[in-house]
Amino acid sequence: MRLLLIAMLFSAAATGALAGDGRYGAPPPDLDRHLARLKDAYPGVIKSHDKEKLVLTSGVELPISDGRTDKSFDELLDHPDIDDMFAIPYPAHAEPKAPPVDSDPGRIRVEALFRAIYGDCRKGDVRAKLRKVPWFGGSVLFTTRNGADRALEAVARDLATLPKPMLKYLAPSAGTYNCRPIAGTDRLSMHAYGASIDINTKYSTYWRWTKPGKDGTYKWSNQIPSEIIDVFERHGFIWGGRWYHYDTMHFEYRPELLPP
């Protein structure tokens, strides 16, 4: 009984951050593991961390928690702290399927951290670090910071070994670097850091291209084969098809959310 109670409490804590009740911000129970992974994923940028703060090599300190556990979903996206980035677990290598309402693992990003990693495109310091990576008969521009370009190269190399019919999903790429906010928001997209790629729009679905149903929810759909998603995830990229606010052409380099 006691064990059962502990198990129930633990699972409530694990899912509390995405209960769909409009209250978000509680740190995940395995926060220490996530912080260690975050430091390993960006070795040149994060110097150290403790329970209170992330210390960047630039000397900037980012608080792990702002103490809030009552954020709305929009506040979570607009004003996240470091622990919020891990509040919704990313289901790497799972079969593609419709996520629960407002479950957008990886869409919660602390901008100050990503600007420290990749630079601020509005000041021109992202473009200076881009290079061409070959992409199925053409090439795309990707950031050389933090090895993201080498990760994309490894993705392209592995994708090239898939059966020929898979190639139609991949090219032409619908874009990589673009110094712009996320559509409908003033938050910078991962495209603004040169760390994200959109594959062929022809076989893609995007929540903004649809209308919500009578109950106000969006209906998820997907055509991208799991073999393609697996390759990207193996090399540190997350997939926008794992979001309730789905964007199935979109992959972004987020090694901190994937197994080492």
Three-state helix/strand/coil letters over the chain: CHHHHHHHHHHHHHHHHHCCCCCECCCCCCHHHHHHHHHHHCCCCEEEECCCEEEECCCCEEECCCCCCCECHHHHHHCCCCHHHHCCCCCCCCCCCCCCCCCCCCCCCCHHHHHHHHCCHHHCCCHHHEEEEEECCEEEEEECHHHHHHHHHHHHHHHCCCCHHHHHHCCCCCECCCCCECCCCCCECHHHHCCEEECCHHHCCEHHHCCCCCCCCCCCCCCCCHHHHHHHHHCCEEEHHHCCCCECCEEEECHHHCCC
**Nearer Cβ to Zn ion, position 27 or 241?**
241
Q: How far apart are CA 19 and CA 197, in angstroms?
A: 30
Tell me if 250 contacts Zn ion by CB under 5 A.
yes
Give me the 144-183 binding string for Zn ion, x by CB under 5 A, dash otherwise: ----------------------------------------
**Nearer Cβ to Zn ion, position 71 or 250?**
250
Selected range binding Zn ion among 18-26, 112-120, 197-205, 229-237, rule: CB under 5 A: 197-205
How many residues make contact with Zn ion (CB under 5 A)?
2
Report the nearest approach of Zn ion to the CB of residue 222 (Å): 15
**Nearer Cβ to Zn ion, position 149 or 198?**
198
Report the nearest approach of Zn ion to the CB of residue 231 (Å): 17
Tell me if 242 contacts Zn ion by CB under 5 A.
no
**Nearer Cβ to Zn ion, position 81 or 104?**
104
Cβ pair 90, 119 in contact under 8 A: no
**Nearer Cβ to Zn ion, position 56 or 108?**
108
**Nearer Cβ to Zn ion, position 107 or 250?**
250
CA distances from residue 230 to 87, 162, 202, 226 in whole angstroms, order as listed: 22, 11, 20, 6
Tell me if 115 contacts Zn ion by CB under 5 A.
no
Residue nearest to Zn ion (CB): 250
Tell me if 84 contacts Zn ion by CB under 5 A.
no
Report the nearest approach of Zn ion to the CB of residue 5 (Å): 44
Report the nearest approach of Zn ion to the CB of residue 235 (Å): 17
For Zn ion, the binding residue among 198, 199, 206, 220 (CB under 5 A) is: 198
Report the nearest approach of Zn ion to the CB of residue 19 (Å): 28
Q: Which residues bind Zn ion (CB under 5 A)?
A: 198, 250
